[in-house]
Structures are given as structure tokens and as C-alpha cells.
Amino acid sequence: MGRLPKWNEMQEGFITKTLSESINKTGTWRTFKPIIDYSRCTKCGWCVIYCPEPCISFESSGDGKVVIDYDFCKGCGICAEECPIKCIDMVMEE
Amino acid sequence: MQKVEPFLLSGNLAIAYAIKQLNVDVVSAYPITPQTTIIEKISEYVAKGELKANFMLVESEHSAISACLSAAASGARVFTSSSSQGLLLMHEILFITSALRLPVVMVVANRSVSAPINIWNDHGDIMPQRDTGWIQFFVESAQEAYDKVIQAYRIAEDHQVRLPIMINMDGIVLSHTYEPVYPLSDSEVASFSPWNLSLKRLDPDDFLTIGGFCYPDYYFETRYQSSKALEDSLPIISKVDKEFGKLSGRSYGLVSPFKCNDADTILVSMGSISTTIRATVKKLREKGEKVGMVSLRLFRPFPLNELIKSIKNAKAIGIIDRALSPGAVAGPLFTDVTSALYLSKMSIPAVNFFVGLGGRDVKIEDIENMFVNLKKIPTGKIKKHSYYVGLRG
Amino acid sequence: MPFKNLKEIIARQDFFSPGHGLCAGCGAAQIARIVMKIAGKDSIMVNATGCLEVSTTTYPWTAWKVPYIHVAFENAAAVASGIRAAYDALIMKKKLGKDVNVVVLAGDGGTADIGLQALSGAFERGDRITYICYDNEAYMNTGIQRSGATPYDAWTTTSPAGQKTLKKDLMGIAIAHRVKYAATATISYLLDAANKVEKALSISGPSFIHWLQPCTIGWRYDPKLTVKLSRLAVKTGLWPLYEHYDGINKLTVQVPKRTPVLEYLKLQGRFRHIMDNQEELAKIQSYADELAAKFGLGPVVE
């Protein structure tokens, strides 16, 4: 981020419209990284709906596979824990 | 201007009448003496359909101000009113209302604070609200209360101001005393203070976040911004008052000096006591005493230049406080006025008179005595700087 | 129409943005996300002061893709009522056309303790707001101090020897105000929760949802277990899932075979001090048994 705004450059009344997804990449928090085994994934959606960020979604193009946005994933491991067929592995970040 | 007959109204009823004419959308308040008849009258207007508003009956003053805040953020024109303990309960939210720049208008029927519990007038309730960032007026009559409420919406909703406003009216003395009040017509009020949807902030078609959290890197700027807005509202307050004068024939100024030009001794005051002081000054002038007085119509933002202009020729000044500030150097108004003198590089001797606490009567003789004491100051015979007028012991 | 499967919920648009500052594995983030998926675009979110508020609105960013307001700790219900009053008045006066859902998310401290008076006022007035208490059973934002919703025996920084009273019965308080709709929920029973939010939003007066939220920091567990703990709370009978509609209580998730409370407690560091204390464990089990009898849950099966 560049220089901080002066008092008169901030919107009056302590208002903001800037979304966290545009500037706050929480993926740096991660210690363990979830890796999906696509050969086994059934696209059931449990990981998609339980992700607290949310940063897991069905890809809108192609075959609609489940994708994790690692820019935001904090590595909590709920997706791996809740996956009914256990096709997500939590792997130590390098 | 068409000629109108006056209504016989108490301060409270005059305010309720103005609120009806201002077509307020949301009213939320909690009963407390001496404010109660304002909200009773508004309830009646709403029940009869004379005012189309949502009157939100809450379980506390804290909820009343909170609801007014969020209703204002939703684009509604809002009103609340309180006194004493109720105002103290609102205290926390008052800071938030000004920092979020929401145009809430509130009338305070000024009353003492507990303990002991006492329902009569002084300024003990308002002085703890000095630093809440609200525009604060003090009125001297039911007419002025009515007029200021109409001006207040115009000022608060001005896009350059966007600040909450408190109108202070001495409880019982003004709130419950009936006097002739000249109202404007409904259409005059509507055109003077029109409602404006562009103040709406909570809008699903243009979402934004209000009132979040910040680290030290943004806090100072945010607080400065609302503080600066309060400072910058002064010329707009003056302008609205002048325009109101053109419409109604009544304007009040930021301060109202009386016989100050050649006065040796001047009393500085706020609220209804100013009427008694003005009468005393008239009486003493008839006896040839060179006395004067100035009443502050606006307390925040503090009208420093206007006040200094009216007191600069005095040899001694008495400053009247109707609230104590225990442990402080002096009373709240004294501290402001003497700071103003200091910043204007003037060293006029000044003393502090504490009077009229908890509704204790202040008589013309008490004011005459204040002038007697002030007169002695230049002789060097007065050593005290604080007088507790009427205190036994 | 009630939701029939997960896909219908997933298909709903998200109004809660990633990049917020809530902890990894935070249950409150899951609640915020699901609630907003159901409530949708034409909603205004009101927060009480708390974790959810400070961690989703850290200036200059916000995680909310709907209009959002936070004012203070104890007044979320009054703030919501003010918005309701404003929209109702402006629509009545034809100054506005479109209505909104007014949704509150407040923690257990902001609901059961400091915010209870304002909530009581909103309930009594019958204001059309949906008030959701995300209950993580302590003041987590200030660093895990006990609240009126802290369960019996739970460690917090201000109940270091364990909480010695039972949780306040928030549902009982809501029902005593004659709210038309009140329900309990938790994230592990997602369809149940989503349908309750949908129903709450459709009520013409105030509606209340008491939503149990495991907190990784305050309950002292591995973040991956948030959903599992939420499930165990239901399976042990400690968190019966039911709704109150038009004066009648109805169990919405049956537990035919209850899990012993130990299975739930042993995963949480906040109960570590009673793990060898059979007497205390028995007390908590008997509390679960009482709830089970009240709501008609099945027997404990080891």
C-alpha cells in the first residue's frame, strides 16, 4: 500500500466501500495447505460451503471442478476434516 | 410576510409543533422530566395522523439515541429529546453520532444530575456532553426554541455540515412556561428546511460499511475530520440564522451582546438566566451604571471571535456557570471564555459565578451583587476568582 | 420454499468477502456467510461490537457486500429497530419504494448480557428484525472472559476454576416475549440452519435465532474441528435443535442415539481441568439428560 490518506482524503463519517478481497490477502497466514485429489473428488460441495473465508468454489468454466483460492486460504483444515471421502490433504507449506 | 396570530405555548409544546411542521419521519425518545410533554404532544400528533411519523417507544434513552442514529443513516429525518440522567445514559452514543456524521436533532430540557435526584434546572447534564462533537445551541425563550429547531434541521442536513445538533432549553423555566410563540406556516417551514434523501447511507443498491474498526493509522484523521467539520459549521450556522431572519423577522446571532460597547463590567451567560441579567442591566443603566451582558446562543462550536468582539472593552468580566466542574481550575464556561481571552492576547480580569444549581432561583438582586463585585475588581480589592452565589455557609 | 439440499445453498450468491481478519477456522465467519447467502442483496447488516465486527470491518476494508452498520456493544437491537422504523416510515410516506431485511449478528455478550435490555425492547415492540446471536460462550473479542452464556465448568480467563452457573436460557427469554419465531441453530446442521434463517426472515415481527458457534481460540481446539464440535454439541444433547413458532416448540433435528458428553468435552481445552473429575463430568451429563428429556431426544449410547 502506498502513502496513507490525509484526513481530508478520507470519506466523511468513517465509511468504507473497499472490499477485503481486493486488498487483504490472508493466504500468508497459512501453515498447512489443503491439496485436493481431483481423481477422487465427487464435487459434493461440503468444503465449498464450510469454508469460513470463503475461498473454495466450483470453477465457473470447464467441468466445474472445486478450486481453492490460496490467496485467501488460512489453512484451517475444515475442508479436509469435513470432506466425506477424505480427498483433501493438508500439506506443510514450503 | 403574512401577519400571524401568536400561539400560547410552553417551550416543550413549541418544539413539538415545530417537529410536526418539519414532517419528521422517525421519533424515538424515553420519558424524563422535564422533557416529557414534548414527546407526549408528538405522540398525540402521530396518533391523530397530523404527523406521519414512526414514533419508536423504547426502553431507555440509550436505545432512543441508537435508533435515531441508525434511522438517520437510513435516510429518515429524526428527532429525540432528553434531560439529565437520560442524557447521561446517551453519552456513549453521542460521540458516535457525530463521528459517523449523522444529522440527528435533539432537544435537551436542561436539568441537574443526581445525586441527589432533583428535577429542576441547571446545566449539569449538558456540560459532560461538551466534547461529544455535537453543535450545541442555548435558547432563551419558547420562541427561540421553536425557531432553532427549524434552523437545526437545515444546518444538520447541510452536506458540508452533516453533524448532530443539540438544542439546550432550560428545564421547567422554559420547558413548562407558556408564552406567546409566533409560528411560521407549514409551507414556510417545508421550504426553509426541506428533507433530502441524498443523506441516506444504508442503501442496498450502493452498499457501504459504517462504523467499523481502525488501527492507530486512521483513528486520528477520522476524529480530526469530524472535529474540523464542527469548527467549519460556524459560518453555515450564521448564514442559516440570517436567512431565517429574512423569512421570520427573527434572527439570534451566535452571541447576543447587550449594552457592551461602553460597559466597564460585563456578565457572560447562557440560557434563560440571560433574560434576568438583561433586565438587571436595564435597571442598572437607568441608575447610570456602565454595565453590560452577553449571552452565548451557540456553545459548540465556540463563537470565539464574536464573543471577544463584544467583551473586549470591559475592565472586568463575570462568567456565569450553572454547573460545577469539580477539581477543575474553574467552571466550564469560565474556562472557555478565559481561554478565548488568552488566545486573543487580552488579560481582562475575570471571575466565575456559580449560580442556580438544581433550580435554585437567581434574583435580580443576586445579579446586582455580581456587578457590585465586578466593579471592585479593578481596585485590586477582590482576591477570589470563584463565587458560589446563594450557597449557605 | 425450504432448501432441500446443499447445492441450493451453495448456488446462492455470497455477500461475505474473503480477506477478512477472523481466525482460521472461525465459526462466526461461517455463520455470517450462510446468513448473508440466505438474506441476500436487499438486506442491511447490523453488528454489535465483537470479534465479527472488528475482524470484518478493519478500515480501510470491509468484508460486507451489503450495507453494514456497527454503532456500539449494547445497542444492536435498537440500531436494527431504528433502521426498521426509518424504512417503514419512508415507505409509508412514499419517499422510498423498496423494503429491506434488517438482520442483526451479535455475540453472546452483546445479546445475553449487555445487549439484553435493548433486545427486550425490540421484542416487546414487535419490530420486524431478524436477530441472530452467534454464541461462542464467552467474551472472545476481549480475550475469553466469561459471559452469561458460558456453560457450566468451562474455563475462561475470568472463570479460571471453571464457570459455576448454567448458561442463560436465551430461547426462554425470547419466547417469554412472545416472539413469533425463535430457533436454535448450529453450522453442522446446515440445511436446518438455512431453513431457519429463511423462516425467520419471513416473519412479520421480530425473529430470533440462537446459533451455537465453536470458537477455536476460546474453546481451545484445533481449528479444523469447528464443524465437528458443532455436530457433537447436537449429538450429545447439549444443543438441541428446535424452533418455536406461533407458541409451539418443535424439535427439528432428532438425535436417536446420543453421544456421551465426554466425547464433546474432551476435544476442548476449556474443559481440560475436569477430564479426571467424574463428579463434574456426571453433572454435565445429567444436564444433557435433562435437556434430552425436555426435547424428547434418544438415550445415550456408548
Query: Which of B19, B20, B23, B26 is best to mutate for the C interface (most C CBs within 10 A)?
Result: B26
Last-in-domain residue among B202, B219, B248: B248
Q: B181 and B94, same structural domain?
A: yes
Q: B232 and B112, same structural domain?
A: yes
Query: At B32, is the secondary structure helix, strand, or coil?
Result: coil
Query: Is the pLDDT score of A93 beyond 60?
Result: yes
Sign, CA torsion B359/B362/B363/B366: positive
Contact B101 A13 (CB under 8 A): yes
Phi then psi for residue A49, to 5 deg, are -80, -25
Strand C43-47, strand C101-107: pairing:
parallel
- A56–chain C Cβ distance below 8 A for any pair: no
Contact B13, B44 (CB under 8 A): no
What's the rounded mean pLDDT across residues C52-66? 98
Contact C224 A69 (CB under 8 A): no
**Mean pLDDT of all residues belonging to chain A:** 95
> In whole angstroms, what is the distance from residue B321 CA to residue B354 CA?
5
Burial B277-313 (b: 16+ CB within 10 A, else e): bbebbeebeeeebbbbbbbbbbbbbbbbebbbebbee
The amino acid occupying position B380 is G
Number of domains forming the structure of chain B: 2
What's the rounded mean pLDDT across residues B112-133? 98
Angle at CA of residue C102, ends B64 and C27, nearest 5°: 110
Residue C263 maps to a domain: no
pLDDT in tens, B364-388: 999 999 999 999 998 877 778 999 9
> In whole angstroms, what is the distance from residue C226 CA to residue B16 CA?
54
C62 CA: distance to closest CA in chain A (Å): 5
Contact C86 B74 (CB under 8 A): yes
Query: Is the pLDDT score of B2 beyond 60?
Result: no
Last-in-domain residue among B248, B273, B302: B248
Task: Tell me which residue in B25, B56, B93 faces C71 most closely, judged by beta carbons.
Answer: B93
User: What is the extent of the structural domain holding C174?
Assistant: 6-254
What's the rounded mean pLDDT across residues A76-94? 97
Contact A50 C24 (CB under 8 A): no
**Residue ranges per structural domain of chain A:** 33-94
Counting one residue from chain A and one from chain B, the pairs whose CB atoms sit within 8 A come to 45
C-alpha cell at A38: 481431483
Query: Which of A7, A78, A88 is best to mutate for the C interface (most C CBs within 10 A)?
Result: A78
Last-in-domain residue among B219, B248, B277: B248
- A44–chain C Cβ distance below 8 A for any pair: yes
What whole-number percentage of chain B has pLDDT above 70?
99
Task: Tell me which residue in C68, C86, C124 faces B210 most closely, judged by beta carbons.
Answer: C68
Residue C40 maps to a domain: yes
Query: At B244, is the secondary structure helix, strand, or coil?
Result: helix
Query: Is the pLDDT score of A79 beyond 70?
Result: yes
> In whole angstroms, what is the distance from residue C257 CA to residue C299 CA?
6
C-alpha cell at C132: 441472530
Angle at CA of residue C49, ends C80 and B223, nearest 5°: 100
**CB under 8 Å, gap of 24 or more: what pairs does A64-69 form?**
A65/A38, A65/A41, A66/A36, A66/A41, A68/A34, A68/A36, A69/A27, A69/C18
> In whole angstroms, what is the distance from residue B95 CA to residue C48 CA?
17
DSSP for B337-362, written as a single string: HHHHHHHTT----EEEEE--GGG---
* Topology adopted by domain A33-94: Alpha-Beta Plaits (3.30.70)
Residue B221 burial (CB < 10 Å; 0-12/13-18/19+)?
middle
Three-class HEC string of chain A? CCCCCCHHHCCCCCEECEEHHHHCCHHHHCCEEEEECCCCCCCCCHHHHHCCCCCEEECCCCCCCEEECCCCCCCCCHHHHHCCCCCEEEEECC
> In whole angstroms, what is the distance from residue A20 CA to residue A71 CA?
12
CATH code of the domain in which C176 resides: 3.40.50.970
Q: Kindly give, in sequence order, each residue whose CB lies less than 8 Å from that of residue C290, ignoring residues fewer than 6 positions away.
A: none
Q: What is the pLDDT of residue A62?
A: 85
Q: B237 and B113, same structural domain?
A: yes
What whole-number percentage of chain C has pLDDT above 90?
98
What's the rounded mean pLDDT across residues C2-20? 96
- C290–chain A Cβ distance below 8 A for any pair: no
Q: What is the pLDDT of residue B3?
A: 62
User: What is the extent of the structural domain holding B293?
Assistant: 255-388
Residue C276 maps to a domain: no
Q: What is the pLDDT of residue A41?
A: 97
pLDDT in tens, C205-242: 999 999 999 999 999 999 999 999 999 999 999 999 99
CATH code of the domain in which B296 resides: 3.40.50.920
pLDDT in tens, B236-264: 999 999 999 999 999 999 999 999 999 99
pLDDT in tens, B59-101: 999 999 999 999 999 999 999 999 999 999 999 999 999 999 9
Lowest model confidence (mean pLDDT) among A2-6, B114-118, B165-169, C179-183: A2-6
Q: B360 and B260, same structural domain?
A: yes
Residue B317 maps to a domain: yes
Number of domains forming the structure of chain C: 1
**Mean pLDDT of all residues belonging to chain B:** 96
C-alpha cell at B301: 462550536
What's the rounded mean pLDDT across residues A14-32? 97
Contact C210, C185 (CB under 8 A): yes
